[in-house]
Structure formats: C-alpha cells, structure tokens
Amino acid sequence: MTAETAGGPVGQVRPITYYGEDVLHRPCAEVTRDTPDLDQLIADMFASMYAAEGVGLAANQIGVGLRIFVIDCPEQDDEGRPTGHSVVGTVINPVLHLPDGHRELVERTEGCLSVPGATAVLARVSEARVTGFDANWEPIEISGTGLVARCLQHECDHLEGTVYVDRLPKRARKQALADADFSRGA
C-alpha cells in the first residue's frame, strides 16, 4: 500500500508497533539534518497513519526511535464539535509547552494505534503548544485546544517512551490492555 505526498517520495505503509515492544518504552533520539532517508520516513509515517485511520503518529509507532511525529488532527470547538478544519504537519525534535500557572484539565476518551481497539478516559491539559522543525528544517509551532492539544501531548509522550495507558490508574491500564486487539495487522 502506498500514499502520495505532495512533491515528495511515495510513502509505504509500515506495520504499527504495539504496546510492549521496546522502542515504545524508551525516549527517542534527536533527529539530525543528516539523518538518512528522512523524507522517506516522513512519507511512510503519513501513509501508515492514514492507513491505520489515526490522527497522529510518532516515529516509534512504526519502530523508528527518532524524535519526530506527524499529525492530521481535526480541530474541535469548546463543545467538542468538529470545526471542519484540521491541523496537518510534521514536527521534528518537538518540545511540548503547556500553560504556566493554572492548567485546566479535560477528561476525554483517548485511544492509540499502538493499543488497538482500546480506549480509556484520561485527563489532559486543555491547551498545548509544540515547537520544533518542519520537514524542511524550518522552525514550526503548532498550538491548539481540545483534540489538537490532546494529540500534541499524546505524540510528545510517545517520543519520551510513554504510551497513554501508562498514565492511567493501574486498574484502568490493565483493562485497556485487556481490551486491546493486538492481533490486528498480524
């Protein structure tokens, strides 16, 4: 399966890495300008994210331990309704910025391609901002609220070796892992 990227290489769908695989549970390495085949990796990440029907994908979710994620996340208003717009981009070596002072937490159902089929309610900060570099090594900043904020936090967690279920209370984590269908794609 392939996917075209605008003016770039054709992306190949790679298998999603599942919870328990080592690459998901350790911090990822910084990307450098001389990282080989970076354009191909980005194309493969988008192709893999779209094939899995995700809204974000970190490199370690396809087995590559590098600090990069892609996103195509629909924006929502304060009531959780779609706005009709999406935040689409690539962030290399992202740094997550959360608000100073009071941080409003929002509890919403969350899932992950690396824990297929399982969801759980998780509190996340209501707004977030990520800085880093885009695919052309230009500085990039993505900020958002609602689902976009959740997605930014979720993907940055991946790059630190944390999967969303790791943030759940023990009983909820065990339930989410029991609910997961790790046979998908096998």
Based on the number of CB atoms within 10 Å of its own CB, is 142 exposed (0-12), middle (13-18) or buried (19 or more)? buried
The tokens describing 62, both together, are: 């396809």
Phi, psi angle pair for 26, to nearest 5°: -140, 150
How far is Cα 167 from Cα 51, in angstroms, rounded to an integer?
26
| Catalytic hit among 53, 79, 127, 155 | 155
- Where are the extended beta strands (E) located within the chain? 2-3, 11-12, 56-58, 68-76, 82-97, 105-112, 115-125, 127-133, 139-145
53 included as an active-site residue: no
How far is Cα 11 from Cα 114, in angstroms, rounded to an integer?
20
Q: Which of 164, 162, 161 is nearest to 180 (CA)?
A: 164
The residues annotated as belonging to the active site are: 155
